[in-house]
Structure 1
Amino acid sequence: MSSINTPLVSVIIITYNSSRYVLETLESIKSQSWKYIELIISDDASKDNTVQLCRDWIKENRERFVESKIITVEMNTGISANCNRGLQATTGEWIKLIAGDDVLMNNCIADNLEYARRLPEASFIVSDMTEIDENSVPIDKKSINEGLAFLMSKSTTEEQLKAYSRWPEFLNTPTFFYRRELLNVIGYCNEKFKIYEDMVMIFKIIGAKVKIHYVNKPTVQYRIHANSASRNKSIDEIREREALDIFRMYQKKNLNVFNLIDLSVYYENWLRFKYKGLYKLKGISYLRKLSLFYWYLKLHGVKNY
Structure 2
Amino acid sequence: MDFTFGVCTYNSKKFIVQTLESIKYQTVAYGEKNRVTLIVSDDCSNDGTVIIVKHWMEYNKELFVECVLLEEDRNRGLAYNYTKLLDHIYTEHFKIIDGDDMCSSVNIFEQCKEIQRDELNIFFPIRFNGDKVYIEESDYISLFYYHMIKHKHKEDLHMLETIKSFATVEVCFLKQAYCEGTREFVRQFTHFQDDTSLYYMFKHNSDMIMNFVLEPMILYRIHDKALSHGEESSANIKFLDDLHKFRKYTFANEKNLYIKMIIFFQIIDTFRMKHRFATKLSIYKKVIKHYEKKRKNLVEKNKDFLKYKSKMEKYMDIESEHLRLIEENAKKYLERMSDIS
Give the shorter-chain TM-score range. 0.7 to 0.9
Q: What secondary structure is seen at the aligned counterpart in 2 of 1:265? A: helix
* 1:59 Cα deviation after fit: 0.8
1:64 maps to 2:30: no
Q: 2:191 aligns to what? A: 195
The AA in structure 2 aligned to 1:36 is R
Aligned to 1:237: 237
The AA in structure 2 aligned to 1:137 is: K
Amino acid at match of 2:98: A
Q: Select which of 4, 9, 12 maps to 1:18.
A: 12
CA distance in 2, matches of 1:145, 1:233: 29
Query: What pairs up with 1:215-230 in 2 under 5 angstroms?
Result: 215-230=213-228
The normalised TM-score by structure 2 is 0.70
Are the counterparts in 2 of residues 112 and 125 from structure 1 also a CA contact under 8 Å? Answer: no
With over 3 angstroms needed to count, the CA separation of the structure-2 counterparts of 1:72 and 1:145, relative to structure 1, is farther
What secondary structure is seen at the aligned counterpart in 2 of 1:52? Answer: helix
Q: Which runs of 4+ in 1 moved over 6 A?
A: none
Structure 1 counterpart of 2:268: 271
Other-structure match for 2:22: 28
Q: Does 1:94 align with 2:88?
A: no
- TM-score, normalised by the number of residues in structure 1: 0.77
* Aligned partners of 2:143 and 2:214 also within 8 Å: no
Once the two structures are superposed, what CA deviation does each residue of 1:100-134 show, in whole Å capped at 9, x if it has no partner? 01110133422423423xxx44543221121111x
Ranges in structure 1 where 5+ consecutive residues have no aligned partner: 1-6, 279-305
Question: Kindly tell me: are residues 132 and 37 of structure 1, through their superposed partners in 2, closer, same or farther at Cα, counting changes over 3 Å?
Answer: same
Aligned mate of 1:184, from 154, 157, 179: 179
CA offsets, 1:257-301, max 9 Å, x none?
3x4xx36514423532555688xxxxxxxxxxxxxxxxxxxxxxx
Q: Offset at 1:217? A: 0.8
Q: Matches of 1:147 and 1:249 in 2, distance apart? A: 26
Structure (1 or 2) with the greater helix fraction: 2
**Gaps (5+ residues) in structure 2?**
276-341
Matches within 5 A, 1:31-110: 31-32=25-26, 33-34=30-31, 35-110=34-109
**Distance 1:66-1:157 versus aligned 2 partners, 3 A rule:** same
Two-structure CA RMSD over aligned residues (Å): 2.5
Q: Secondary structure at the match of 2:85?
A: helix
Aligned pair in 2 of structure 1 residues 273, 222: CA closer, same or farther (>3 Å)? closer
Which of 1 and 2 has greater Rg? Answer: 1
